[in-house]
Amino acid sequence: MKTTRITVSEVGPRDGLQSIASVMPTDAKKRWISALYDAGLREIEVGSFVPAAVLPQLADTRELVEHARTLPGLTVAVLVPNLRGAEAAVTAGAHKVTIPLSCSETHSLKNVRRTHAQMLDEVRAIARLLGSLPPSQRPHFEGGLSTAFGCTLEGLVPPRRVVELAEALIAAGCDEVGLSDTTGYADPAQVRSLLRAVWAAVGRERLKGIHLHNTRGLGLANALAALDLGITTLDASQGGLGGCPFAPGASGNIVTEDLVFMLEAMGLDTGIDFAGLLAARAVLAAALPAEPLYGMVPLAGLPKTFVQT
């Protein structure tokens, strides 16, 4: 009997689609999101409220939030880079907003042209906005600690700095923080030690999720390390969309299909039906025929012994 519920948070519509050149038509995105929902996914990051000039692939995020809100029980998540994005997210009715804060200030400056202090100002402004809303309309507010395991620009990111930024995000008004292995640098021992360090500072209820990449093949091993310690939310991208595991620099999110297989095989409850997941993958593949999709289980097939209960 399965007792532990694990949330697989699908980030393909945001992280996957923002990393590819093709623009997926809005109707196809809606079909894909609905198919993911039908498979049992109950948290989907549907887009990002950034200027269309920056990420034209995600210019329809508002329409996708509206569509996703029609799916009962779905947590509709979006990324926001700043207060303006958060305002759009609130207007659209997102249930969860995540602001990324790069632990590497060099990366932060290069990526969003903001220092840590400037980003924390944005966080405080967003927290004020959300605090002004009636609780029933207030989205959950997460701070995503990107480059938490190392940076391609700065190299080592001291764990002490990650802990301090986690504390600063909570102090600035985030409900929760998440750890993100943006660069695919993490190893299982590091995942464990960093989780313990951040938990010691902000409490376990303030850090329940992790965003892992498979750039160096350790994605699922890192996921296991996090699960063993009690992490209950794992980001993943269907078909590893947007990240070629064999291309340096690519994002390489862990693949939803392989993650769900691992979790279910271990007897953990994802609520996700594998056949439904393959149906959603087919929707994605049909909409983006030129994009490579990854994942070992979709190609090798499920073991003869695999039974979903």
Binding site for a copy of itself (CB under 8 A): 150-152, 155-156, 183-185, 187-190, 214-218, 220-221, 223-225, 228, 245-248, 252, 255, 258, 261-262, 265-267, 295-297, 299-301, 303-305
Burial 175-200 (b: 16+ CB within 10 A, else e): bbbbbbbbbbbbeeebbeebbeebbe
**Shortest Å distance, C-beta 257 to a copy of itself:** 9
User: What are the Cα distances from residue 304, in Å, to 3, 270, 297?
Assistant: 24, 20, 12
- For residue 174, indicate whether it is catalytic: no
- Nearer to a copy of itself by C-beta: 271 or 292? 292
Element (H, E) at 265: helix 256-265
Where do runs of H (alpha helix) occur along 40-158?
61-68, 83-92, 105-112, 116-131
Distance of CA 235 to the CA centre of its chain: 4
DSSP-assigned letter for residue 73: T
**Least distance between a copy of itself and beta carbon 267 (Å):** 6
Q: What is the closest distance, in whole angstroms, from the C-beta atom of residue 193 to a copy of itself in the complex?
A: 10
291-305 burial, b at 16+ Cβ within 10 Å, e below that, comes to bbbbbebbeeebeee
Q: Please tell me the distance from the alpha carbon of residue 62 to that of residue 113, in angstroms, as a whole number.
A: 25
Under a CB-based contact definition with an 8 Å cutoff, are residues 202 and 177 in contact? yes
Minimum CB distance to a copy of itself smaller for 141 or for 185: 185
By C-beta, is 19 or 98 nearer to a copy of itself? 19
The set of catalytic residues is 244
